[in-house]
Chains A and B, each alone.
Chain A
């Protein structure tokens, strides 16, 4: 019973493997219970024990630490890692990853940097899933789960997943693009064990294919079907039949082409749902005038397990009372596509005592936020999006709303807040009232806007956040900011891993403070700030510890970036040109650099120069 023999078994479930080995280990000891393992060498015993232990280690950070202990631990850890997370698809090649980790069942891959979401990166930059799909097909035929974020996925890739991985169960695509309904059709038709298909904020092209009808007949294993981002009509009758034959379905998020009448029909078939995305939440245009409206309240009341509600894509507020029966149990509510007023919100939110996650539009105004603060004492995450995403519009939410939230929601951990005006006082108040904050993202939409009450920069507000919120790992700053704000961040933001900067700072010193002061910094994204080559140089000691650095429309020059590239061979330094830039301009439009074991990538498009 050498280790080699057992490795032949395929595909073993990890836990099964553990208990087999454990049993075998004990069996070779003497039957009388003597703690003597004569037939196995001591090293091997240790390895067996280690392997058993490591199966229970799920955190990838712990696993990374374990793999550094010694060669033996490295090897065993690599054998037992079943979930592979790669934060930058270009940091390591598919070949290298599959060579080290041989028993992976789940792959989590991230591609483009976040600023690509805001049109700051030309399309076709890269992050193609294809080479990974092909490598996985050879190395991990037992692969069950793929989770991709900001990757380019083609219809062929979807076909590959469905055809070459027989036990494939779970596909989650977040902010991806490159595929369409015809790819989905092939995928769902061939993936017989599918449990989860989650399409989140992805761009799906409409190839006029009725993919919903392509789910195989017979009872389905579907547990989660999320397609609220798919901007095309779907075959409702086919969907209804699918839901009816999916007894395990817990999560269903519909797109805006599903009317409230159709939603009713689905809810009636699936009262076991825990997560529901309601689709349009308005009647289809041809609802007959004389038709009896279905009893929406009863449908919601029947969903006793519902904890997460979203959708409301084209809401008619008259229908809102239908959700009253579920409010008391809701832990997550997403109104971020629903243009509702404070008055319309109040009767709902006043019932949501257990709410932990709330996404909403600023149409509810400060008054609406006050109502949230009054009821939602357990709130952990708040996101307030603008209805009117422009710089100069009137702002319905302000420091008043932020102050109210900070006073009412003391357990707040994560906030994203878009506004037109904000005071240092309110931000300072939040830093004191909400000490558990881990994520603080404030977007004052007017660039370079000072505190409207004091006329001062927003330095002190953000300073207070990094000083008082000791658990803070993610920060996004805005408004008028001098180098002082960054000095604060460098001094106190010792746990900050992700920092987002736009239109801020006075000089290179600002960036220097951050690069020298924040040892945990992993992801730094900067745009339109006056930082140049000298600032870039001050981070040389740290860049290998970071996932990436993004700097666009700053003051970098080509030779400055070249210097970095020369000094750090394991860093890939990409200069990305926009449409109007010349190839040999010394001024750098966009710098995107990241550590990588592979050197310059071979799939870079023409507008990318790798220094």
Chain B
């Protein structure tokens, strides 16, 4: 079968796992259509009622049989919409859209992967190839034509950086990099 078998935190069940296909090939888990969100391969999905593993001390649930494409025959939309809420409460990724004034299309980022504002802003700068200025509480973002803003749960547009990071990631619905005079207005103690 396989050559070296690395031991992870779990019981290295991968080596003994039943799979389709010849040894040495990757498990069958092809999702052909990328339009819908990726089918959650179930190793990080404990099912609705929590982890099913008998041994409560395992750090990770046993990996399931390889998923077959399109089986059981449930539309992705239905599958995703039953699990959506559960994932959010279990702390799955917090994906928000990021738009930039003047850019032809939007991007999406997972706020959970960043540890704080500096990392987030750096990532956005890299993504859209521009520079945000220096943040100060009094004056917002100085030194560039751009201001990062976000829409919060109330539907209001706020300047990124004003609230503590944890509060930010739970209340942020989407990000928008404002440009030009609109942006400058935000920095003027308004």
The residues of A with any CB-CB pair to B shorter than 8 Å are 115, 117-123, 175, 177, 201, 203, 208, 229, 256, 284-286, 313-314, 336-337, 339, 361, 363, 385-394, 418, 443, 445, 447, 500, 502-503, 527-528, 578-579
B78 contacts A393, C-beta separation under 8 Å: no
A390 contacts B30, C-beta separation under 8 Å: no
B42 contacts A118, C-beta separation under 8 Å: no
Residues of B within 8 A of A391 (CB): 64-65, 68, 71-72
Residues of B within 8 A of A389 (CB): 72, 74, 79
Contacts A203-B36, A392-B65; is A117 near B75 (CB within 8 Å)? yes
A203 contacts B35, C-beta separation under 8 Å: yes
Contact of B48 among A203, A339, A385 (CB under 8 A): A339
Compute how far the CA of A394 lies from the CA of B77 in the bound complex, rounded to whole angstroms: 22
Residues of B within 8 A of A314 (CB): 84-85
18 contacts between A and B (CB under 8 A): A117-B75, A120-B32, A120-B69, A203-B77, A256-B81, A339-B82, A361-B82, A391-B65, A391-B72, A392-B64, A418-B72, A443-B72, A443-B73, A445-B71, A500-B73, A528-B68, A578-B30, A579-B30
B71 contacts A502, C-beta separation under 8 Å: yes
| Beyond A115-B73, A118-B75, A122-B32, 4 extra complex contacts between A and B, CB < 8 Å | A120-B32, A389-B74, A391-B71, A579-B32
B106 contacts A119, C-beta separation under 8 Å: no
Which residue on B lies nearest to A500, using beta carbons?
B73
Separation in Å of the A281 CB from the closest CB of chain B? 12
Compute how far the CA of A567 lies from the CA of B128 in the bound complex, rounded to whole angstroms: 57
Separation in Å of the B77 CB from the closest CB of chain A? 6
**Interface contact tally, CB-CB below 8 A:** 99
B70 contacts A119, C-beta separation under 8 Å: yes
Contact of B99 among A201, A208, A286, A386 (CB under 8 A): A208
Separation in Å of the A306 CB from the closest CB of chain B? 23
Compute how far the CA of A203 lies from the CA of B36 in the bound complex, rounded to whole angstroms: 8
B75 contacts A201, C-beta separation under 8 Å: yes
A393 contacts B52, C-beta separation under 8 Å: yes
Q: For the complex, is B76 an interface residue (Cβ under 8 Å from A)? A: yes
B47 contacts A115, C-beta separation under 8 Å: no
- Per-residue CB contact flags for chain B residues 76-100 toward chain A (1 = under 8 Å, else 0) read 1111011011000000000000010
B70 contacts A386, C-beta separation under 8 Å: no
B48 contacts A387, C-beta separation under 8 Å: yes
| B33-85 CB contacts (< 8 Å) to partner A | 33-36, 39, 42, 47-49, 52, 64-65, 67-79, 81-82, 84-85
Contact of A119 among B64, B76, B85 (CB under 8 A): B76
Residues of B within 8 A of A313 (CB): 81
Residues of B within 8 A of A387 (CB): 48, 82
Q: For the complex, is B107 an interface residue (Cβ under 8 Å from A)? A: no
The residues of B with any CB-CB pair to A shorter than 8 Å are 30-36, 39, 42, 47-49, 52, 64-65, 67-79, 81-82, 84-85, 99, 106, 153-154
**Listed residue (B48, B52, B65, B106) with the most chain A CB atoms within 10 angstroms of its CB:** B48
Residues of A within 8 A of B74 (CB): 118, 385-386, 389, 418
Separation in Å of the A606 CB from the closest CB of chain B? 15
Separation in Å of the B25 CB from the closest CB of chain A? 10
B70 contacts A120, C-beta separation under 8 Å: yes
B31 contacts A390, C-beta separation under 8 Å: no
Compute how far the CA of A332 lies from the CA of B47 in the bound complex, rounded to whole angstroms: 29
Separation in Å of the B13 CB from the closest CB of chain A? 13
Compute how far the CA of A388 lies from the CA of B64 in the bound complex, rounded to whole angstroms: 13
B32 contacts A119, C-beta separation under 8 Å: yes
Compute how far the CA of A285 lies from the CA of B170 in the bound complex, rounded to whole angstroms: 10
Which residue on A lies nearest to B80, using beta carbons?
A231
Contact of B82 among A123, A337, A394, A578 (CB under 8 A): A337
Residues of B within 8 A of A337 (CB): 78, 81-82
B82 contacts A286, C-beta separation under 8 Å: no
B48 contacts A363, C-beta separation under 8 Å: yes
Contact of B77 among A122, A229, A445 (CB under 8 A): A229
Q: Which 9 A-B pairs have the closest CB atoms?
A: A118-B70, A445-B72, A120-B70, A389-B74, A119-B32, A118-B73, A117-B75, A286-B153, A285-B153
Separation in Å of the B108 CB from the closest CB of chain A? 11
Which residue on A lies nearest to B173, using beta carbons?
A233
Compute how far the CA of A503 lies from the CA of B71 in the bound complex, rounded to whole angstroms: 10
B73 contacts A502, C-beta separation under 8 Å: yes
Compute how far the CA of A336 lies from the CA of B39 in the bound complex, rounded to whole angstroms: 19
Which residue on B lies nearest to A285, using beta carbons?
B153
Separation in Å of the A235 CB from the closest CB of chain B? 10
Residues of A within 8 A of B48 (CB): 339, 363, 387-388
Residues of A within 8 A of B34 (CB): 123
Residues of B within 8 A of A119 (CB): 31-33, 39, 69-70, 76
A390 contacts B42, C-beta separation under 8 Å: yes
Compute how far the CA of A177 lies from the CA of B33 in the bound complex, rounded to whole angstroms: 12
Separation in Å of the A598 CB from the closest CB of chain B? 27
Compute how far the CA of A527 lies from the CA of B70 in the bound complex, rounded to whole angstroms: 10
Separation in Å of the A111 CB from the closest CB of chain B? 15
Compute how far the CA of A208 lies from the CA of B101 in the bound complex, rounded to whole angstroms: 13
Which residue on A lies nearest to B176, using beta carbons?
A208
Residues of A within 8 A of B84 (CB): 314
Residues of A within 8 A of B71 (CB): 118, 391, 445, 447, 502-503
Residues of A within 8 A of B78 (CB): 336-337, 385
Contact of A201 among B65, B70, B72, B77 (CB under 8 A): B77
**Listed residue (B70, B76, B99) with the most chain A CB atoms within 10 angstroms of its CB:** B70
Residues of B within 8 A of A177 (CB): 35
Compute how far the CA of A503 lies from the CA of B72 in the bound complex, rounded to whole angstroms: 11
Residues of A within 8 A of B70 (CB): 115, 118-120, 527
Contact of B64 among A390, A443, A500 (CB under 8 A): A390
Contacts A201-B77, A229-B77, A284-B153; is A386 near B32 (CB within 8 Å)? no
Residues of B within 8 A of A361 (CB): 82
A208 contacts B73, C-beta separation under 8 Å: no
Separation in Å of the B88 CB from the closest CB of chain A? 9
Separation in Å of the B105 CB from the closest CB of chain A? 10
Compute how far the CA of A503 lies from the CA of B84 in the bound complex, rounded to whole angstroms: 29
Contact of B106 among A208, A390, A445 (CB under 8 A): A208
**Listed residue (A118, A123, A528) with the most chain B CB atoms within 10 angstroms of its CB:** A118
Which residue on B lies nearest to A580, using beta carbons?
B30
Compute how far the CA of A447 lies from the CA of B65 in the bound complex, rounded to whole angstroms: 12
A123 contacts B72, C-beta separation under 8 Å: no
